[in-house]
A and B are shown apart, each in its own frame.
Chain A
Amino acid sequence: MAARLDHDALTLLRRRDPRGFELAYGAYAARLHGFLRRLTGRRELADDLLQHTFLRLAERGPDLEPNSDLRAWLFAVARNAYLSELRSARSKVEPTAPEELASPSPDAEARLLLGDVEQALAALRLPDREILLLIGVEELAHETVARLLQITPATLRQRLGRARSRLLAELERTPRPAAHRARGLP
């Protein structure tokens, strides 16, 4: 399904047809924005990086092969843009006070539980956070993520295991919200 969408979007983009861009934006903008918000912890920066990523798609899309993995390409561009941003003088400091990342949800209890995960994710170091975001949240294939991070699949498995353990440790350390304590929730 995603491969078909990628193929259609890239075929249109190769003809410089804006409908190809619309297809790609409709399919991946929200996911990419969520990834960038969680990766950077800053909404404004996530907005800038999202814009950078999709404008790069408009520029380079006509040269991409129709059978390319568009989703992986977009995440790679977004991640590299963030790393460049971190390296540049404009943004040297990692966020210390992450925003509330969960979108409004009708189920308040579920939101609180997800809020714990968001906080724990934000407290992790960037290498751990990005691997958990790409594999856990975005559910990209391990081979794709290994290529994206330029590491071997074996290294990826090791790093994923470590990141997972650190996330669990953070979750145990994160103070439970008062509402949970009152209801006896974990």
Chain B
Amino acid sequence: MNERDPVLCRLAALDVSEPAPELTAQIRAAATRRLVPRRVHPLLTLAVVCSVLSYLLWATYFASALYPS
């Protein structure tokens, strides 16, 4: 039907519409941010691990002080 119908043939001849280069650049940048996970600095990871361990140690110490044997 698409090949023979003159109305659909006229529609198929319509031009495509290129998006503006600025829009394309914006979309590409945003898509890359979503696709590629942001790298976390190793020192930041170390800081988070240290703070969690410190909190656990403090919590253990605090809890043991509440119930002295």
Task: Tell me the A residues contacting B by CB distance below 8 Å.
Answer: 13, 16-18, 21-22, 25, 29-31, 33-34, 37-38, 46-47, 50-51, 54-55, 57-59, 61-62, 101-103, 105, 114, 117-118, 121, 132-133, 135-137, 139, 142, 164, 167-168
CB-based contact A29/B10 at 8 Å: no
Question: Which residue on B lies nearest to A61, using beta carbons?
Answer: B35
Contact in complex: A55, B32 (CB < 8 Å): no
B1 to chain A, nearest CB (A): 8
Are B24 and A25 in touch, CB under 8 angstroms?
yes
Top 3 nearest A-B pairs by Cβ distance?
Answer: A136-B11, A58-B31, A34-B17
* In contact, A30 and B17 (Cβ under 8 angstroms): yes
Taking A21-B31, A29-B27, A51-B30 as known contacts, 12 extra A-B pairs with beta carbons closer than 8 A to each other, sorted by chain A number, are A18-B32, A21-B28, A21-B35, A25-B24, A30-B17, A33-B18, A50-B19, A55-B27, A135-B2, A135-B8, A137-B14, A139-B2
Contact of B8 among A13, A22, A164 (CB under 8 A): A164
Question: How many A-B contacts at CB < 8 Å in the complex?
Answer: 103
| Chain B residues within CB distance 8 Å of chain A | 1-2, 5, 7-8, 10-20, 23-24, 26-28, 30-32, 34-37
